[in-house]
Structure 1
């Protein structure tokens, strides 16, 4: 079938709107009519990454309606509303069978190669291959995706808000609820108040934390954090975060710290501002050339946990519906994460916003179809 898509033809160049061909879904694949897709900073990373195969259709935060299913598909049927997960899992490997589906490696080879799980693509133009992004490629009217990327959501769920669940929302929420295991009445610090950080705040609020302390360098982001549940804020460019964290917690430090910043210095600060027996969860991606420096003296007596968390330890088929129902029950704020709604033709404007240091980055521009 012919579809309209935003195609990345060259690294670092604007996307171009093109007509391309999309093949039918094969076994264990689903054809989804994309209704909405968020434009994430990770899409910019892919656009500027020389290892991204081209031409490719980017986009990994999407929601839509199932149009057709390939052989063996059992999780969804035509007409179902779905939120898409960019990390499908096999269900049979060492990690999956023990419940750690977020650590399944089945998707990453194909993901880096720009294919679907079977190593082939479904998109082309004049007989030439067009590659997939994150096994989804949601910057298009339709997408063929793995069945394990399709999570059914309630019919009443608005799809602009649903499109954001599959990446930053699930990562932040799950970092608090799953990876950290925030407990009722506890104290939590969140470093890096962007699209992931505000959802870590929401996860901590839903888990029942008594104090949620937002830490960032941007005063605007800290003010926004209050809308999502932050009870206190620390501007780390002006204050010593660990000292303030201790002062807000009777001198002990917080019980949980979640670092969404991708900055190793923030992780070090989070560690120092966490009490004995506390937990520090890192979901931000570090520059691989950086190192984390933690004090060695008395390390064994602190009883602290430092944990890296991919995707917030999310289990999409469990967590996506939970988040959707929390939203529908008025307990989760997705509305304020939709910063603007744009047509596909304006997608490059959303990318331009990432280069504007004054632009609000707590949320997403959402491309809506129809």
Structure 2
């Protein structure tokens, strides 16, 4: 029987979000209903509200979530009610050309639930990243549920569902950061700070955090940055080169996603170094550079999709590190809030006042 729950809905571009009644159907084949325990407020949710993703309003926002499986549909064999899960937005299919080549983190045919959640008048809702977890319960494909150790705090664990995984994965999976590397991270919000933490986990010896906000630089230092650069006080490229013996960093991660920060990343890397773009550009952004510079510097220019993660592999591993005290996920939780405080949390995020506000049910 369908259930009615409270959820945060964006009805129109730029309009304040509202808490409304959401109808969650019983799970169909391959689906699961999850009772959400915590969900982080991510910049992607704000992109949805602002029409920056698409115009399929109304949206049911929220996607960085952890919770408990309440019920499953026909054919679901790897989940059962009571399982503690982190929700992910790349449930791999196993049969596309990427999966068949052994690269499921690039899966080109990921799954979402088939049935829509709706408003009480029957209007279908578009769930953010196929999840829609600013709600007391949500309907997802069973492959979007990754079981992890239930000893983890839901507020911390849920953040692996998007931003923290994107940042750690940008360093470890996409950038291939390893022992002894030098790394620069441009932009130290939630994703960039996670890239700093991931670089520290991987054994990088020089980790340079770059941002305009000294508060964020201080936070990055607590997560493993060995040096900081305030981008508003000088030449970022020159500063990174100076801190790396005049050469530039082995890996530079752009967690902002603007033409100017990408250029900084490109020129701040060592010869044959790697640039990783994990910040999301907007459609109108353009980049113009001499083609010869690409050829003469060599190396790799990469984009990181969701930290090139495989949730079934990476989420349990990172939760184990968290429970061992080796990955401080709690440091990313700036505040816990109620469901009706999401709009206020967007403002705090826009002003750089938080790493993450987390809705706790």
TM over 0.5: yes
Equivalent residue of 2:62, what SS?
coil
Distance change in 2, residues 1:5/1:287 (3 Å)? closer
CA distance, structure 2, for counterparts of residue 343 and residue 97 of structure 1: 43
Per the alignment, residue 249 of structure 1 pairs with 244
Aligned partners of 2:349 and 2:356 also within 8 Å = no
* Stretch of structure 1 that moved more, 239-248 or 37-46: 239-248
1:144 is aligned to 2:139 = yes
Per the alignment, residue 42 of structure 1 pairs with 44
1:191 pairs with 175, 186, 192, which one? 186
Per the alignment, residue 177 of structure 1 pairs with 172
Give runs of aligned pairs for residues 101-180 of structure 1, distance below 5 A: 101-107=104-110, 116-118=112-114, 120-180=115-175
Per the alignment, residue 311 of structure 1 pairs with 306
Per the normalisation by structure 1, the TM-score is: 0.92
What is the number of residues matched between the two proteins?
358
Distance change in 2, residues 1:24/1:240 (3 Å)? same
CA distance, structure 1, for counterparts of residue 20 and residue 47 of structure 2: 22
Say what the alpha-carbon RMSD is for the aligned residues: 1.8
Per the alignment, residue 331 of structure 2 pairs with 336
CA distance, structure 2, for counterparts of residue 353 and residue 16 of structure 1: 17
CA distance, structure 2, for counterparts of residue 43 and residue 299 of structure 1: 34
Distance change in 2, residues 1:20/1:298 (3 Å)? closer
Per the alignment, residue 98 of structure 1 pairs with 101
Per the alignment, residue 342 of structure 2 pairs with 347
Per the alignment, residue 87 of structure 2 pairs with 84
Aligned partners of 1:342 and 1:368 also within 8 Å = yes
Aligned partners of 2:5 and 2:23 also within 8 Å = yes
Equivalent residue of 1:307, what SS?
strand
Aligned partners of 1:268 and 1:293 also within 8 Å = no
CA distance, structure 1, for counterparts of residue 290 and residue 203 of structure 2: 31
Any unmatched runs of 5+ in structure 2? none
CA distance, structure 2, for counterparts of residue 168 and residue 241 of structure 1: 24
CA distance, structure 2, for counterparts of residue 64 and residue 17 of structure 1: 20
Per-residue deviation, 1:90: 1.2
2:14 pairs with 8, 12, 15, which one? 12
Q: Deviations over 1:47-89 (max 9, x none)?
A: 1107332333111111100111111112321111000112222
Aligned partners of 1:61 and 1:86 also within 8 Å = no
CA distance, structure 1, for counterparts of residue 127 and residue 295 of structure 2: 46
CA distance, structure 2, for counterparts of residue 298 and residue 348 of structure 1: 44
Distance change in 2, residues 1:234/1:153 (3 Å)? same
Per the alignment, residue 215 of structure 1 pairs with 210
1:365 is aligned to 2:360 = no
CA distance, structure 2, for counterparts of residue 139 and residue 295 of structure 1: 45
Any unmatched runs of 5+ in structure 1? 111-115
Per the alignment, residue 113 of structure 1 pairs with none
Per the alignment, residue 325 of structure 1 pairs with 320
Distance change in 2, residues 1:181/1:57 (3 Å)? same
Per-residue deviation, 1:42: 0.9
Equivalent residue of 1:230, what SS?
coil
Per-residue deviation, 1:117: 4.5
1:281 is aligned to 2:276 = yes
Aligned partners of 1:24 and 1:122 also within 8 Å = no
* Stretch of structure 1 that moved more, 339-348 or 122-131: 122-131
1:24 pairs with 11, 23, 26, which one? 26
Per-residue deviation, 1:295: 4.1
